[in-house]
Amino acid sequence: MRHQDFCAIDFGTSNSAVALPTDPSTSPAKNTLRLAELETGFTSMPTAVFYNVEDETRCYGRKAVAAYVDGYDGRLMRSIKSILGSDLIDTSTEIGHGQAVKYIDVVTTYLRHLKQVAERQSSGKMRRVVMGRPVYFVDGDEARDKKAEAALETAALAVGFTDVAFQFEPIAAALDYESTIDREQLVLVADIGGGTSDFSIVRVGPKQREKLDRKTDILANHGIHIAGTDFDFAVNLAAIMPHLGLGSLGPSYQGARKVPSSIYFDLATWHLINTVYAHNRVAELREMTAMYADQLRYRRLMHVISRKLGHELAATAEAIKIDVSMTGKANVVLANVDENLSVSFSETQQTHALDSKIEKIAAAARDTARMAGVAPDAIGAIYFTGGSTGLTSLSDAIAASFRDAKKATGDRFASVATGLGIYAARLFAD
């Protein structure tokens, strides 16, 4: 059996994944698929590139994030998918030491890395690819939407693919579920990642399964820019930052006013954390000691900043969110901040911190059904994908508006890639 020279790439805003045909030498079944191991032990990886200007190297995924967190001199590029369709695609950006890189080259560099990793796990070169794409790269602007797809195709061709096809991400997410049903139904695809919550109403069924062009099966698409990073930020502010002084009062002789809060907001915002460590910022904070009646909390704040623990605390906030979702509570020892400090966070506290955001996301799901012109009881299933759908309170809030719908969940981080692989196998079947 000859080498199957195709793959499928889910080039996501937060994370990416690649589906490959199974090696014919190990699996006699035709057009079976597997997910590439993009990093050791992981079949998905952050969509991130770090340009290290100290030694003029690049690294990707978790290594890119680690290099940024560790403070290497350079530029971390994340959410690079959002460049597509914008005016930035034709411009350059500074990466440090007077060096610059074109935005389109950032996309190309990352895709080339995915292709090279995939080819090392395959039996030859990859020539054909199915790329995932949102229903709309740019809402309400057809010209920019076409420009975005054209830019992604240009990048794919530049890294060596000779045949580039596209499939809509909500269709890809629904394909795996579609293979399990024997009648037509409407599915609400809830794709909730780190930056956005996207919803699509998709028609699926045995007849639809045979079609390659599925655009008419998407009845509505809608989304909002509230998702996992917003949850982590809210939990960080509610569970951790008060122990560093957020909400604390100043001395009574100063009128017991609350201490400034901007430092805490920046310290809880992932891409702003390193700005807190700037020399002028630290000098300013050292002058604020008299503003704190609780000097212990002020010392903790300065310790976190001097030891550059902000990203560690952001990761702790995410872990607290997950623990509360799984067990109803979280108890975390923060010995790196203060040997006597432990944090307890309850389900009630988390609900209070996240409720308004979760309701806005659930409202977006209901709006999607209204846009499709279908009643909630017409939805046969809700297919949850994206890392943030692991938050039980969120999935329950969405499902509450569609009580007759079956709840279905695939691989939260790779279901889109798996669906794209299914489509690629059909499209490129020899």
Locate tokens 């937060």: which residue? 14
What is the structure's pLDDT at 85? 81
End-to-end CA distance of the chain: 11
| Least confident interval from 113-122, 161-170, 247-256, 314-323 | 247-256
What is the structure's pLDDT at 291? 92
State mean pLDDT over 239-249.
95
Distance from C-alpha of 336 to C-alpha of 200, rounded to nearest angstrom: 44
Distance from C-alpha of 129 to C-alpha of 327, rounded to nearest angstrom: 41
Locate tokens 């889109």: which residue? 416
What is the structure's pLDDT at 23? 64
pLDDT confidence band for 331 (50 / 70 / 90): very high
What is the structure's pLDDT at 347? 93
157 has pLDDT over 70:
yes
330 has pLDDT over 90:
yes
190 has pLDDT over 90:
yes
Which of 123 and 223 is assigned the larger pLDDT? Answer: 223
State mean pLDDT over 301-326.
94
Closest CA to 38 of 57, 64, 56: 64
Distance from C-alpha of 304 to C-alpha of 416, rounded to nearest angstrom: 38
Distance from C-alpha of 151 to C-alpha of 147, rounded to nearest angstrom: 6
pLDDT for 364-408, tens place per residue? 999 999 999 999 999 999 999 988 888 889 999 999 999 999 999
What is the structure's pLDDT at 36? 95
What is the structure's pLDDT at 245? 95
196 has pLDDT over 90:
no
Residues in CB range of 281: below 8 A, 6 or more apart:
275
What is the structure's pLDDT at 430? 66
Q: Cβ distance 401 to 382 under 8 Å? A: no
pLDDT for 31-75, tens place per residue? 578 999 999 999 999 999 999 998 889 999 999 999 988 888 888
Torsion sign (Cα): 356, 141, 77, 36:
positive
236 has pLDDT over 70:
yes
State mean pLDDT over 172-183.
86
Angle, alpha carbons 141-142-146 (nearest 5°): 120
What is the structure's pLDDT at 230? 93
pLDDT for 402-428, tens place per residue? 999 999 988 888 899 999 999 999 999
Q: Cβ distance 46 to 15 under 8 Å? A: yes
139 has pLDDT over 80:
no
Instruction: Round the average pLDDT of the chain to a whole number and report it.
Output: 91
pLDDT for 82-135, tens place per residue? 888 888 888 888 888 888 899 999 999 999 999 999 999 987 899 999 999 998
What is the structure's pLDDT at 28? 47
What is the structure's pLDDT at 24? 55
Domain ranges of the chain: 229-351
